[in-house]
Amino acid sequence: MKAIIPAAGLGTRFLPATKCTPKELLPVLNKPVIQYVVEEALEPRGVDEVVIVNSHEKPQIEKYFSPDQDFEAYLHAHGKDALAEKVHAAGALPVSFVYQDDPKGLGHAVYMAKDKMDGSPFFILLGDYFVPDRQMCVNMQKVSEEHGGASVIAVAPVPADQVSRYGIIAGECVGTLTGEEAQDIEQEGAVWKVTGLVEKPAPEDAPSHLFIVGRYLLSPRIMDLLATQAAGAGGEIQLTDSMERLLDEEEMYALVVDPAEGCDTGTPAAWAATNARMALRDAAQREAFLEALGPTDELK
């Protein structure tokens, strides 16, 4: 089973930093953002390869995930075995690359990985967000198994005035992750049967206010639909539009998640906050972080 991470964007929100460094390689503490996403993608049972959809403008990502035996040998020779192990681990992750040099939209990016797929369902993880405990995709896999291997997406409530930024679902609550009755149909753990999907609707057209958070477990049939997908919102080939067409043929479910379980790295402010959150939850970094931060009342 495979997972796809689209990573061909220009990272314009982070310019000028992204003039030379792909946004995917910006660090959260001492690890690049995309490595957290790759490690999350490998967590569900059966996922054995991550396909990164890159652009040829960003060869540094491929270099990062390549083995570097000379550097490892150098670190070992200088007694830095723990660092050598970290360098080794990055190069040993089961990552492969395809390319999207023409930014035609998320659906187009995913389609670029078609030849890497083996006819099984696959995950898609959008790379501006990662879930430190890595359980979101694992839970989606559970929901899929409970519903005959159907496609499952993660969704969360969003205020009505923000629906036009996202893909929004229509559907009805049919249960919960734990099998108990849902107390609140928009609460974390609620499971919906999806009956419609719309990308970036105007608030008055939104069929619900549950938005797609960027974690998908999709039927391989989606690739056939993407092959003929016309451009949609923003003139882009939208994954959401092909998922809407998939509903004519197959069932799809949505798992309500708490997006705050994850860390956003999509803007400089969110990225900075994610670094702070991760430093605070890392036992080895927490004290040094708080000391370096100084008196927090001066920050307000």
- Which stretches of the chain bind ligand G1P, using CB under 6 A? 106, 126, 166-167, 199, 211-214, 238-240
Residue nearest ligand G1P by beta-carbon distance: 167
Least spacing, CB of residue 167 vs ligand G1P, in Å: 2
State the distance between the two ends of the chain, measured CA to CA, in whole angstroms: 47
Per-residue burial over 73-86, b = 16 or more CB atoms within 10 Å of its CB, e = otherwise: eebeeeeeeeebee
Q: Which is nearer to ligand G1P, 106 or 143 (CB)?
A: 106
In the complex with ligand G1P, the residue whose CB is nearer, 213 or 278, is 213
Place of tokens 């991550």: 50
CA geometry: angle 117, 118, 120, nearest 5 deg: 100
- CB-nearer residue toward ligand G1P: 47 or 213: 213
For residue 128, the minimal CB distance to ligand G1P (Å) is 7
CB burial of 157-188 (b: ≥16 within 10 Å; e: otherwise) equals: ebeeeebbebbbbbbebebbbeeeebeebeeb
Q: How far is the CB of 206 from ligand G1P (least distance, A)?
A: 12
Q: Which is nearer to ligand G1P, 80 or 104 (CB)?
A: 104
* Least spacing, CB of residue 122 vs ligand G1P, in Å: 17
Q: Which is nearer to ligand G1P, 208 or 238 (CB)?
A: 238
Min separation Cβ 174 and ligand G1P, Å = 21
Helices (H), the chain: 33-41, 59-64, 69-77, 81-92, 106-111, 136-146, 221-227, 239-246, 268-281, 286-293
